[in-house]
Structure 1
Amino acid sequence: MTKQITRADILPTAEYGAIRKQKRSELVAKKRHRRVEVGPHVTFYFESYETMWLQIHEMLFIEKGGEAQVDDELAAYNPLIPQGSELIATMMFEIDDENRRKRVLGRLGGVEQTVTITIGSHVVRATAEEDVDRTTAEGKTSSVHFLRFPFTPEQIAAFRDLSQPAILGIGHEGYQHMAMLSADTRNALASDFDV
């Protein structure tokens, strides 16, 4: 069954405004285990139905585009909801200094094609969104990438088996870093699977 946010899930702006603080606070606690730093510059934010529901409501609340804005937000954020046998992450290069950011991103073209999650002998390769090219002809990459990790049933079983280490890695020649996924993170992300 496809997990999607529909117009029926969208609260009126005033109603959302009344519960906004509470919803944001609840999600901060959940997102803590869905955030993984890899190396000095990259953070992965693993998305879910809940994170996208809040994101859509935040965009509608802040931009105040009303009814006319709803379809655009649904179209933008529904593709980032995992569909039962995958994880989806926003990969962000977070470098405050603009000159340094340009230098680092300028040599990381294709980095989105080198991201993996390894669990024991299983390697799950990320696939990047295809509607936007995030690498220029000059070899510069974007600071934001949307990645999908398609899992087989065997890989999902391995991911849920906390006796096996799970490693999120980037293997680009200009940025080779990895991070072990904690048990809390794996448990949080395993809730995205319905297999």
Structure 2
Amino acid sequence: MPREKREIQKEDIMPLDVYTKNRRELRKNIVDFKKNRRIALGPYATFYFESYETMLAQVQEMLYIEKGGDEQLKDELSAYNPLIPNGKELTATLMFEIDNPISRAAFLGKVGGIEETVFMKINGEKIKAIPEEDVDRTSAEGKASSVQFIHFNFSDDQIAKFKSEEIEVEIGIDHKEYSHTTKLSSENKKSLSADFS
């Protein structure tokens, strides 16, 4: 798939019958592709780094499930295109995954504003994440959403460092109720480096 693509267009979408016929193989390919783009942080948080490929797969799947045609396609594109990295950023879906509904509600009730405390560190230099503006991800009562969409914006110098094999990159959350950091593996860095133009 074209790496330089920054936006899904209508002509990028496979006809439903073609998608249906190839769906199993396409889904297997995207699972393989996503493997090095998933980073767990602490017991509950997982970052899923998005790209043109992951968002195209998501749109195709939504159209397959809901069969809403062109009308639905417009909504899907406006929802998912903003999550495709623009060449100077990384974008991620951050999910807090807790199976037990009572534990999940208790946790999310304590971590309001957590989306404001996400960061990356490149060689010790901190890059603060910017939450997607489309939706308020913490309610007025201070309850966080279990799904957050975030952007990390990079300077050219930071991109060059990120791509360097010698330089350490960390991702973290620094919330009083949930404070964790982890290093990106070389496989993570290699996969995510492709998102920069």
Q: Same fold (TM over 0.5)?
A: yes
Structure 1 window deviating more from structure 2 (85-94 vs 15-24): it is 15-24
Deviation at 1:2, TM superposition (A): 6.8
1:4 counterpart = 2:1: no
1:184 paired to 2:187: yes
TM-score under structure 2 normalisation?
0.96
Q: CA-atom RMSD, angstroms?
A: 1.1
Cα distance in 2 for residues equivalent to 1:2 and 1:49: 6
Q: Deviations over 1:143-180 (max 9, x none)?
A: 00000000000110111112121110000011001111
Pick aligned residue for 1:60 from 44, 49, 63:
63
Q: Deviations over 1:112-169 (max 9, x none)?
A: 0111110113211100012211112221100000000000001101111121211100
Partner residue, 2:165: 162
Tell me what 2:22 maps to.
19
Partner of 1:100: 103
Q: Secondary structure at the match of 1:51?
A: helix
Match of 1:76 in 2: 79
- Unaligned stretches of 5+ in structure 2? none
Matching residue's letter, 1:11: M
TM-score, structure 1 normalization? 0.97
Q: Name 1:43's counterpart in structure 2.
A: 46
Residue 145 of structure 2 aligns with an amino acid whose one-letter code is S
Structure 1, unpaired ranges of 5+:
none
Separation (CA, whole Å) in 1 of partners of 2:73 and 2:18: 15
Match of 1:128 in 2: 131
1:190 Cα shift?
0.2
Deviation at 1:67, TM superposition (A): 2.1
Q: How many residues align?
A: 194
1:5-62 CA distances to partner (integer Å, 9 max, x unpaired)?
0011111100111111111111111100000000000000000000000000000001
SS in 1 for 2:166: coil
Matched-pair identity in %? 48
Q: 1:132 & 1:53 partners in 2: Cα distance?
A: 21
